């Protein structure tokens, strides 16, 4: 049993979700993760597969879940029967209890240099959509795919954003698909990587949402005080250049690592905390970008946990808000306040009852093992 003497809580709008990656061998079981997310009143989560243990753990939670179809499935999912079988096995049995709202078909397929995989992407998306229609599930579950910013050829000024020429052949029909089925365009946007690659010329304050002189788009005269908003508007401009103003952009991943190798500038606990705190505060305010000030930004933070089995530099394993044992990597929150001493085992459902809000704890947190 765990009691909290001082429990600091930051309350954020539902414009923020979280990515729950599991490339690790030391994470809490999915059932305990589900309890953690419920206690925080997080109601939107994105995962990268359709693991039955995860889907079962989220049953009855009312958490909106985006599940993933891995890149390794794309070739097979072009077959209508295989696509329908996959949905019948991995989606349909859980829908009565688990709120699956989206299937993310592939992750960062375009821009990686694999032209064969790129050619499989849209056919797989279309076939999965057709299977949802056949099963009568297309009103509950939508189809999309997440892209990296590598698909952009021009990102500044934002008004001149454009996709790489060799990407247009893939992206234009994908945009047509999104417009037809009314699903969003997912982009993984990390200002951290821009800073890491050029720390001498990219100002840290600009990428961390800290006070700075900003940059001005010379075409629109709009001022940008942070890189993420400029990246979002650049994607919208690139989409418009291909003839679409009817597709919404959602940020499927963004975050900042708390640790990195010696050559990974800016990867510190302090900067990670600043980035996510400032981002969440802006989301709480319902901010839009300079080019779309009245349209709140839709964001999923990467990631819930540090993942110790991810490949690559040290930063790749340290994007989490939490350590694997459920303790926070750094303090998070806006408009924080202190709750009375509570007994987590019996009272969290009563205490954390603010509807439709995303809550993140401040300070050390140890999850009750059930």
Q: Which residue has the tokens 């540090």?
A: 306
Burial of 221 (C-beta count, 10 Å sphere; 0-12/13-18/19+): exposed
Q: How far apart are CA 238 and CA 223, in angstroms?
A: 19
Q: How far apart are CA 32 and CA 162, in angstroms?
A: 43
The single-letter DSSP state of residue 78 is G
143 has which bridge partners?
103
Q: How far apart are CA 40 and CA 219, in angstroms?
A: 43
Tell me: cis bond preceding 157? Omega within 30 of 0 counts: yes
**In b/e form, how buried is each residue of 305-341, taking b as 16+ CB within 10 angstroms?**
bbbeebeeeebebbbbbbbeebebbbbbbbeeeeeee
Q: How far apart are CA 359 and CA 279, in angstroms?
A: 14
Q: Are 328 and 361 in contact (CB under 8 A)?
A: yes
Q: How far apart are CA 344 and CA 328, in angstroms?
A: 17
- Of 64, 108, 264, 307, the active-site residue reads 108
Q: Give how far Cα 109 sits from Cα of 117, 145, 318, Å.
A: 7, 8, 23
- Of 64, 253, 264, 307, the active-site residue reads 253
Q: Which residues contact residue 221 at a Cβ distance below 8 angstroms, ignoring those fewer than 6 apart?
A: none
The verdict on whether 309 is a catalytic residue reads no
Burial of 345 (C-beta count, 10 Å sphere; 0-12/13-18/19+): exposed
Q: Are 368 and 35 in contact (CB under 8 A)?
A: yes
Q: Give how far Cα 1 sits from Cα of 6, 81, 306, 361, 368, Å.
A: 16, 49, 25, 18, 7
The verdict on whether 108 is a catalytic residue reads yes
342 has which bridge partners?
4
Active-site residue set: 108, 253
């Amino acid at each position: 049993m765990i009691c909290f003497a001082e429990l600091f809580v930051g309350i954020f709008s539902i414009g923020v979700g979280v990515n729950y990656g599991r490339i690790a061998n030391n994470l809490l079981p999915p059932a305990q993760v589900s309890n953690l997310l419920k206690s925080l009143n997080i109601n939107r989560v994105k995962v990268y597969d359709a693991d039955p243990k995860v889907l079962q753990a989220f049953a009855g939670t009312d958490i909106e879940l985006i599940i993933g179809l891995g890149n390794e499935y794309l070739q097979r999912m072009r077959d209508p029967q295989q696509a329908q079988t996959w949905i019948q096995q991995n989606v349909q049995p859980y829908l009565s209890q688990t709120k699956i709202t989206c299937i993310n078909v592939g992750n960062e397929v375009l821009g990686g240099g694999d032209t064969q995989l790129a050619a499989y992407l849209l056919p797989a998306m279309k076939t999965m959509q057709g299977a949802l229609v056949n099963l009568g599930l297309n009103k509950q579950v939508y189809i999309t795919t997440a892209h990296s910013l590598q698909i952009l050829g021009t990102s500044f000024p934002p008004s001149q954003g454009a996709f790489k020429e060799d990407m247009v052949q893939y992206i234009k029909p994908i945009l047509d698909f999104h417009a037809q089925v009314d699903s969003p365009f997912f982009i993984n946007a990390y200002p951290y990587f821009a800073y890491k690659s050029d720390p001498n010329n990219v100002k840290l304050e600009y990428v961390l949402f800290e006070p700075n002189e900003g940059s001005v788009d010379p075409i629109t005269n709009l001022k940008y005080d942070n890189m993420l908003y400029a990246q979002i508007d650049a994607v919208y401009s690139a989409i418009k250049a291909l003839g679409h103003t009817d597709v919404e952009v959602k940020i499927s991943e963004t975050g900042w690592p708390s640790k990195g190798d010696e050559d990974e500038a800016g990867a510190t606990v302090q900067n990670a905390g600043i980035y996510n705190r400032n981002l969440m505060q802006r989301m709480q305010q319902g901010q839009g970008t300079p080019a779309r000030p009245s349209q709140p930004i839709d964001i999923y933070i990467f990631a819930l946990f540090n993942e110790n089995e991810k490949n690559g530099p040290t930063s790749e394993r340290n994007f989490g808000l939490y350590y694997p044992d459920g303790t926070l990597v750094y303090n998070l929150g806006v408009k924080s306040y202190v709750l009375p001493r509570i007994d987590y085992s019996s009272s969290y459902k009563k205490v954390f009852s603010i509807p439709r809000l995303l809550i993140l704890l401040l300070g050390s947190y140890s999850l009750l093992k059930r």
